Amino acid sequence: MRIVAGEARGRRLAPVPAGTRPVSDRAREGLFSSLGQDVAGARVLDVYAGTGALGVEALSRGADRATFVDSSYGATTTIKDNLDRTGFRARARVIRKKAERFLEQALDEPGERYDLILADPPYDTPARAIDALVSGLIPLLSGPGSALVLTRPTKAYTPVVPVNLQVARRLRYGDSLILVYREV
């Protein structure tokens, strides 16, 4: 895996830790091309970050800062390695915590809001948990025009769209479906 575009274009990323399914280079390229200039200056949250490739790609394309959340020690170690490889460590925060716990704490205390949220939960995550994830992420969006990106398998459940979001894009790459929601 490598960074597709921006400041760190072409930089190789660390090996993928066991049990992690990264978003392909091609899918990342398509996603970030569709987001365009919305990434520049953005505050990014990468939940179920895995290798951190999505958030690191956002930083490479001009995001101001990124927060990475994953519960796996191997994943958070890989994310830190990738931030070091690309020179973005100073613009990032890596949190080793279950996404659900992170959301509970983020909603209980006033804190940072994000212009771009990237969520790549495991493909076998139950439908009820996906709905809870989307509902929990919405209050962390910074306001109208901010984006929530959710990856799902193409032949699996996709969440009901809450009233304050609209589906801006549906991108398909192999067995991956990338949904881009915009806050209205």
**pLDDT tens-place values along the chain, 184 residues long:** 889 998 999 899 998 888 788 788 888 999 999 998 889 999 999 999 999 999 999 999 999 999 999 999 999 999 999 999 999 999 999 999 999 999 988 877 777 899 999 999 998 999 999 999 999 999 999 999 999 999 999 887 778 778 888 989 999 998 889 999 999 8
The H or E element spanning position 57 is helix 53-60
pTM of the model: 0.93
pLDDT of residue 160: 78
CATH 3.40.50.1820 for domain 25-156+166-183: no
What is the residue extent of each domain of the chain?
Answer: 25-156+166-183
The predicted pLDDT at position 108 comes to 75
**Within 10 Å of residue 81's Cβ, how many Cβ atoms?**
16
Instruction: Tell me the three state secondary structure of residue 162.
Output: coil
**Token pair for 33:** 């091309």
Question: Cβ distance 93 to 68 under 8 Å?
Answer: yes
Decide: 58 and 129 in contact? Cβ < 8 Å.
no
92: left (phi over 0), alpha (psi -120 to 50) or beta: beta
> Rounded distance, CA 7 to CA 10, Å?
9
